[in-house]
């Protein structure tokens, strides 16, 4: 029902052709529409496809090395259960934090699957190439070198993953990420880098206690996702956004938070964020996971022309780049 309503509402909302400032194309986990997420190969492809920024989700290894993985778990993107079957925790999951970097490097990264081993996106890469987990520093070096060789200025977009959980495990992931950025001269508001996090309390700590100078983005979840202790409903109010603007430069909302799923009208979040001086970078445009009857053209028209977002996370950088530069 929601899908059919979305199809109709998209058509109804796309009534005007307006000009807008060039938005950012943010390569979500590299180029996972074509290659396994967050691998060096996926990052290289995203660079070649013309991304403005490339995302790195960061978690920590047992020996304190920041590595690039979307989850604190390993089961859905690697062969960890085959290689280390005895290393799962009581909940049946395998955690990156329980493995040294050498052990993580011995794993093969594959296309994302569910916990039953079925591909989440059935038409994406299903080959047998031996992809591996990358460290955060390896990805920084890769993008830096590609920028140098091709005279580009593609930026970084790391996420501090699950800081409260890491802290419960005795690990200060935010400090580790900032130390890495400072080592490479990237804790700088003038550099092409944003640091994102779902945890508002941690984002404030990063700015106020750890002294980060880098641009910060507050990711927006729903409260019932239990992503962090943050009250996202309160944060999306004008008062919440005004307070957030004292700490961050923008928000990263879930696309349905920009559209009321009952009325299929704009929620006003983009306008409220802009009024508070915040950029809006929603997640995630996936051309292979659109509602039935909705095209990529309609979706991107809605995001960029109607809602006027400042950038978008996408698994398909090439599609968004082609759209913006045609």
- Distance CA(277)–CA(280), nearest Å, equals 10
CB 107 within 8 A of CB 79: yes
Q: What is the CB neighbour count within 10 angstroms for residue 143?
A: 23
- Distance CA(231)–CA(239), nearest Å, equals 13
Query: Exposed/middle/buried for 19, CB within 10 Å: 0-12, 13-18, 19+?
Result: exposed
Residue 325 is among the residues annotated as catalytic for this protein: no
Residue 281 is among the residues annotated as catalytic for this protein: no
- Distance CA(266)–CA(299), nearest Å, equals 13
Give me 79's structure tokens. Answer: 């062969």
Give me the torsion for CA of 227, 233, 235, 236, rounded to 10°. Answer: 120
Task: Say if strands 215-219 and 194-197 run parallel, antiparallel, or are unpaired.
Answer: parallel
CB crowding 96-114: b at 16 or more within 10 Å, else e: bbbbebebbebbbbbbbee
From the list 28, 38, 73, 110, the catalytic residue is: 28
From the list 70, 73, 110, 281, the catalytic residue is: 70
Q: What residue ranges in 198-268 does DSSP mark as E strands?
A: 215-219, 250-252
CB 218 within 8 A of CB 236: no
- Distance CA(121)–CA(32), nearest Å, equals 10
Q: Could you list the active site residues?
A: 28, 70
């Amino acid at each position: 029902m929601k899908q059919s309503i979305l199809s109709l509402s998209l058509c109804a909302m796309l009534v005007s052709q307006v000009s807008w400032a060039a938005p950012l194309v943010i390569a979500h986990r590299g180029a996972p529409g074509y290659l396994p997420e967050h691998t060096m190969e996926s990052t290289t492809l995203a660079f070649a496809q013309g991304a403005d920024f490339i995302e790195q989700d960061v978690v920590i290894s047992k020996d304190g090395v920041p590595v690039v993985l979307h989850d604190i778990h390993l089961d859905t993107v690697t062969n960890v259960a085959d290689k280390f079957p005895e290393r799962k925790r009581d909940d049946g999951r395998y955690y990156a934090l329980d493995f040294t970097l050498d052990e993580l490097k011995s794993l093969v990264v594959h296309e994302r699957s569910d916990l039953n081993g079925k591909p989440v996106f059935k038409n994406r890469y299903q080959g047998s190439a031996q992809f591996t987990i990358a460290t955060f520093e390896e990805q920084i070096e890769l993008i830096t070198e590609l920028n140098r060789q091709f005279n580009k200025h593609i930026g970084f977009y790391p996420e501090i993953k699950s800081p409260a959980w890491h802290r419960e495990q005795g690990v200060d992931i935010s400090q580790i990420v900032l130390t890495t950025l400072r080592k490479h001269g990237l804790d700088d508001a003038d550099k092409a880098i944003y640091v994102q996090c779902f945890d508002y309390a941690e984002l404030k700590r990063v700015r106020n206690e750890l002294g980060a100078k880098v641009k910060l983005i507050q990711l927006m979840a729903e409260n019932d996702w239990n992503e962090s202790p943050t009250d996202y409903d309160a944060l999306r109010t004008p008062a919440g956004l005004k307070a957030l603007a004292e700490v961050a430069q923008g928000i990263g909302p879930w696309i349905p938070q920009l559209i009321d799923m009952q009325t299929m009208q704009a929620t006003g979040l983009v306008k409220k964020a802009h009024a508070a001086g915040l950029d809006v970078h929603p997640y995630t445009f996936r051309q292979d996971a659109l509602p039935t009857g909705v095209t990529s053209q309609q979706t991107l028209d809605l995001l960029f022309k109607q809602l006027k977002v400042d950038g978008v996370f996408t698994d398909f950088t090439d599609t968004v780049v082609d759209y913006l530069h045609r």
